[in-house]
Amino acid sequence: MTEGRIRREAVSDQVYALVRDRILRGEAAAGTALAAERDLAAEFGVNRHAVREAIKRLQQARLVEVSHGGRTLVLDWRHTAGLDLAMHLPGADAGLPPASQALQRDALEMRACIGADAARLCAARCSGEHAAALVAATTRYADTGPDLTALDAADIAWWRLIVEGSGNLAYLLAFNSLVGGTLAVGEVPPDRRTEELLDVAAHVRLAELIAARDERAAERLARHLLARSVPAVPERRAG
């Protein structure tokens, strides 16, 4: 019985991924009706239960909407989907060429924006004990040495303290997505962030500004530090 359930779930996962990618690629256009359950079941050679489970997941991801009449309408994922969808965009070839590089850049830009404001809020809101913990973590960061992999791990732990100190739960959840690879930042090799990671002085100064409650200076320095890892956007040629 257990093995059977695992196989059925795996089938529904495959159906979900196939239909999801069709939507991301625009093959199932926003505003159109998805094929009926029986037709999808026949196309993929699966039972209707697997299709039904896949459609439930598509609903949860805000890729489709089931109307009162029973039709499943495709939504415009750019207007409805959440961050959890980001990890699937490169593989789906969703019109973002080169998809993985574009998404990685976008995620690093988001990281710089969130990190800058998190530093400001941390300076305004964190307790004295938290500020002291951040300063202590900065000392450990400075003692890590030039190994980029070790610095990358120490940097994540250090920024987690800043985001937690901001008191903003939405920022914390976004941070988890960023470092977990959902938004591709977790997959950026440390050597692509060499300049940022090796700037120990900026890390030390930022911790000092937060401990001193200098919100604006902390925000500016955090943005400057994080922006150094954001790839430049190629200029568009006229015509």
Which pLDDT score, from 0 to 100, does residue 75 have? 96
Greatest mean pLDDT range, 77-86, 90-99, 223-232: 223-232
CATH number for the region 2-81 comes to 1.10.10.10
- Under 8 Å between Cβ of 172 and 162: no
Which pLDDT score, from 0 to 100, does residue 141 have? 95
> Considering the chain, what is the average pLDDT of its residues?
87
d(CA 50, CA 208): 55
pLDDT at 55 over 70: yes
Which pLDDT score, from 0 to 100, does residue 191 have? 84
pLDDT at 6 over 80: no
Of the chain, the percentage scoring pLDDT greater than 90 comes to 69
pTM for the full model? 0.78
d(CA 139, CA 154): 11
Each domain of the chain, given as residue ranges in start order, spans 2-81, 99-227
Which pLDDT score, from 0 to 100, does residue 236 have? 47
d(CA 39, CA 129): 61
| Assigned fold of 99-227 | Four Helix Bundle (Hemerythrin (Met), subunit A) (1.20.120)
* Cα 63–chain centre separation: 18
d(CA 5, CA 239): 57
pLDDT tens figures, 180-189: 866 667 677 8
* Rounded average pLDDT over 14-27: 92
pLDDT at 176 over 80: yes
Tokens of 120: 């400001």
